[in-house]
Amino acid sequence: MKAASTAWQMNPEMGETLTDRKALVLGMGTTGVSIAGWLAAQNRSAIFADSRATPPGLEKVRAILPAAALSCGSLPDRVPDGIDEVLVSPGLPTDTPVLQDANSRGIPVHSDIDLFVDACNARIVGITGSNGKSTVTSLVAQMLQAAGVKAVPGGNLGVAALDLLAEDADVAVLELSSFQLAHSGELPLHAAVVLNVSPDHLDQHGDFESYAAAKARIYAKAGTAVVNRDLPGPAPVACAHEVGFGLGIPSPTDWGVINRDDGQWIARGSYAVMPVSNLQIAGRHNLQNVLAAFALADTLDVPLDGLVVGAQLFPGLPHRMQVVASEDGITWIDDSKATNEAAALASIESVEGRLILIAGGDAKGGELRELAGKLKERDAFVIVLGRDAQLFLDQLTGSCDVHAVSDMDAAVELAAGVAGTGDTVLLAPACSSLDMYGSFAERGDHFAAAVRKLQ
């Protein structure tokens, strides 16, 4: 922890009141490791359990809490005796037997986000949505930093929330997944946004309504609700203020786009803030992301000029519409972060000309019907791979030319064979990577490496 003068002060009485409380921690990944550090700082004892035989954070947890009991390979069906609190990692379904047992016995269940907000005296901005979360989280932090604010990004992006407590900062910008929100209480956020909601993670949430409801929880105790005016989505509940953003002409208090003689401008109400052409990131979906970032950052009453500088300098994030090669008139784009159908559709819409699409992986219960309709409208050649390759073949046959391959190297080789001058080869999987890779980043890196071999 930083010195007590920072904005991240912990309650000095917290250690005394929590020392005797024993926790059951479910999961030994990045979140579990951060919880271990938190428990160690509180001098608390714990039992850790993970369904994986060799969890990625096992050795780190063991080093941080040598006395903790560690169980790998399965989760208990019941909360062990002597446990006062269950701390859960994201991604664990709410109907997991041990969580149901805890709820039936009145044992508190908390997330790392709950622990973080209880300990943090800084203002917290929360960002969720099916797509664009990481971009907006990173962008808001950069814009605030450019405006002279000590801001740090984290949560579901990069640094675990509890690890941010070691930073000297005045604002925490948190990316929050549907899983984190489902397991968390009502979060007292300074400002919050649901960027968009489209079917995703239905294999774990059960249905779209449950998934959307988890996203909507971000507004429960937010001081300002930032709302996407262009898309239907969760309605803010009992927020003190509401600010909107969208690609149309904004109302006096909203953020939007206005047309001037010199082109399109980002605007707050009728006030022109900056030319759209000054952005380094392209596409309608990224323009929406920038508008959301301005709406969030502006709630902190910081100099607008600084926010503009931060927006203009933002280069985008890896594996998000990232050009990895442009040779012989063919453009190769890595959008491995397009892990659901809606994200892939946004990427496809931003590409002009003939498209060679590489897609596939774990569709997470998605049906891909919109993708089939979109590809039918254009000149497209689709290459599919991964666990749900057959689903793509079933849905896309008749809409476009579609072929299945065994792996990414084969996909890139086939794409190179059919691509010609003016074509774009786009990796936009519309699926999770976890059936074949450790992360979407690993998948994108494999794609880029395979493309480089062609040069």
Length reported for the chain: 455
From the list 133, 205, 319, 364, the catalytic residue is 133
201 classed as catalytic: yes
CA dist., res. 353 & res. 440, Å (int) = 26
- With 0-12 / 13-18 / 19 or more C-beta atoms within 10 angstroms meaning exposed / middle / buried, residue 311 is buried
Assign residue 41 the CATH number of its domain.
3.40.50.720
Same domain, 335 and 448: yes
Q: Where does a domain end: 83, 107, 131? A: 107
For residue 234, the model assigns a pLDDT of 61
For residue 238, the model assigns a pLDDT of 63
From the list 131, 156, 196, 340, the catalytic residue is 156
Same domain, 124 and 103: no
Structural domain contains residue 286: yes
Which residues of the chain fall short of a pLDDT of 70?
Answer: 1-20, 199-206, 208, 232-239
Same domain, 262 and 359: no
CA dist., res. 86 & res. 89, Å (int) = 10
Same domain, 383 and 421: yes
285 classed as catalytic: no
- The answer to whether 214 and 182 are in contact (CB under 8 A) is yes
Domain that holds residue 433: 322-452
Q: Where does a domain end: 107, 142, 174? A: 107
pTM comes to: 0.84
Same domain, 206 and 305: yes
- The answer to whether 137 and 294 are in contact (CB under 8 A) is no
For residue 158, the model assigns a pLDDT of 82
Residue 298: count of CB within 10 angstroms of its CB: 19
From the list 60, 183, 201, 337, the catalytic residue is 201
Structural domain contains residue 124: yes
446 classed as catalytic: no
Q: Where does a domain end: 62, 85, 107? A: 107
Assign residue 215 the CATH number of its domain.
3.40.1190.10
Same domain, 231 and 329: no
- The answer to whether 303 and 194 are in contact (CB under 8 A) is no
For residue 346, the model assigns a pLDDT of 87
Same domain, 306 and 215: yes
Same domain, 86 and 135: no
Same domain, 99 and 159: no
Same domain, 129 and 270: yes
Same domain, 328 and 442: yes
Assign residue 399 the CATH number of its domain.
3.90.190.20
At which residue do the structure tokens 């262009």 appear? 230
